[in-house]
Amino acid sequence: MAKEEKGTGAETAAEPAVPVYETIEHWYNVHGTGPAVYAGTLCLKGWRPGKQVTEQEYLAAVTAFEKGPMAGTGGTR
């Protein structure tokens, strides 16, 4: 019986984690994103309130906004 329990534990450890989808407002509150950064990220990505994304997608979008050009010209000037 102990052998079966060991096999079960190894199988669950090897299973990939299922990504958690939450609304962007949830990730905004969890990470304490500033209102201007939040609004800019939504504008940059074309997201609407209520969109569900993973935490990694949200953080990548915020990072892309924060590292983007401030001129708004796409870096052409």
Burial group, residue 12, by CB count within 10 angstroms (0-12, 13-18, 19+) = exposed
Residues in CB range of 73: below 8 A, 6 or more apart: none
Average pLDDT over residues 73-77: 55
Separation of alpha carbons 24 and 17, rounded Å: 20
pLDDT value at position 49? 94
Please check the confidence at residue 77 and state whether its pLDDT lies above 50: no
For residue 31 the two structure tokens come to 């990470």
In the chain, domain spans: 19-65
Q: Could you say which DSSP state residue 53 is in?
A: E
Please check the confidence at residue 6 and state whether its pLDDT lies above 60: no
pTM of the model: 0.70
Query: What mean pLDDT value characterizes the chain?
Result: 84
pLDDT level of residue 53 (50, 70, 90 thresholds): very high
pLDDT value at position 69? 84
